[in-house]
Amino acid sequence: MKIGKFTVHKQHLAPWLFLALPLAMYAVWVIVPILQSMVFSLTDRDSILYGRQYIGLGNFIRLISDPTFHLALKNNLFWMIAFVLLPIPIGLAIAMFFNQDFPGAKLFKTAFFIPMTLSYAVIGTIWAWIYHPDFGALNSLFRSLGLDNLAMQWLGDRRYMTGALIVVGIWRQVPYVMILYVAGLKNVPVELVEASMIDGAGWWQRFVRVILPMLRPATVVAVTISIIDSLRAFDIVYVMTNTKARAAEVLASYMYSSSFQYQDYGYGSAIAVVQFAITLGFILVYVHNTMKKETEL
């Protein structure tokens, strides 16, 4: 009996022993920095090395009247709307196209996935050349079509800067969404689609009434991931503007410039806490919906 209890305890203990090292690493590199940022956000800390003074919610009150913070928040909202409205339908359309059997389908599918394999430094370099006002591919195309009035300073005009950066982000996001939908389409029962064809359903009716509802789990994941990625937007903004262009500021880039360029760590930490709270809200909604569906099953 004693041996049996020991065996049961060992079975319960074994998974935790395997998870101990990953959990410890996650705590050191994720949980502790988050808690440190929360503590820093309540101080006027202006350096990593020197002391700090507790100022309560002073940094958060300062955010309320900071126009650059408002601009960064608004730009993040634009990123979020664009990432939900464009990559998802485009990725779904491409996935539907590649879900058919035709010569070279795998080759084209791989070609569409290439942007996901490139680093942001490479992507920034490619698109900086495309947006170049004098020699860039985009303005050259407009000029060759006689549309000279559309050729402009894409990264030098504050009116178009954020939109130009969002296009770059979408270019990289579409392949990711496409892969999610390609995987989702593999789970759509062929018998169900064939039955709807026998019943006389056209292509659009099959898509709307049969395929799209079956892709709901993939859509939920795609929307959630796209929202989180839009809130994490930093690399492209940093690489293509070096955070010097205030018009393109997002929360992550403003947090970086406040902390590491202006040495205002307390204020930068307050921005990070706000960004973390917004992201956590979307993650909790996603987790709640996922757990609710699993309970219903």
The 10s digit of each residue's pLDDT in 181-191 is: 988 888 888 88
The reported pLDDT for the residue numbered 105 is 75
pLDDT tier, 71 (very low <50, low <70, confident <90, very high otherwise) = very high
The 10s digit of each residue's pLDDT in 80-98 is: 999 999 999 999 999 988 8
Whether pLDDT at 194 is above 90: no
The reported pLDDT for the residue numbered 206 is 86
The reported pLDDT for the residue numbered 70 is 94
Across the range 49-61, mean pLDDT stands at 80
Residue 65 in any domain: the answer is yes
The reported pLDDT for the residue numbered 195 is 85
CB 243 within 8 A of CB 256: yes
Residue 38 in any domain: the answer is no
Burial degree of 207 (CB within 10 A; 0-12, 13-18, 19+): middle
Among 124, 162, 172, 171, smallest CA distance to 249 is for: 162
Residue 14 in any domain: the answer is no
Domain range enclosing 225:
59-296
Residue 74 in any domain: the answer is yes
Residue 215 in any domain: the answer is yes
**Count of domains observed in the chain:** 1
Maximum alpha-carbon separation in the chain:
88
The 10s digit of each residue's pLDDT in 8-47 is: 666 778 888 888 898 999 999 889 999 988 998 998 866 5
Share of the chain above pLDDT 90, in %: 28
* CATH code (residue 127): 1.10.3720.10
Whether pLDDT at 297 is above 70: no
Most confidently predicted of 45-49, 118-122, 226-230 = 226-230
Residue 34 in any domain: the answer is no
Residue 159 in any domain: the answer is yes
The reported pLDDT for the residue numbered 4 is 58
Residue 214 in any domain: the answer is yes
Distances (CA, A) of 63 to 6, 57, 245, 261, 278: 56, 10, 19, 18, 15
Across the range 236-255, mean pLDDT stands at 83
- Residues whose CB falls within 8 Å of the CB of residue 137, separated by 6 or more in sequence, listed in order: 129, 130
CB 177 within 8 A of CB 85: no
The reported pLDDT for the residue numbered 74 is 94
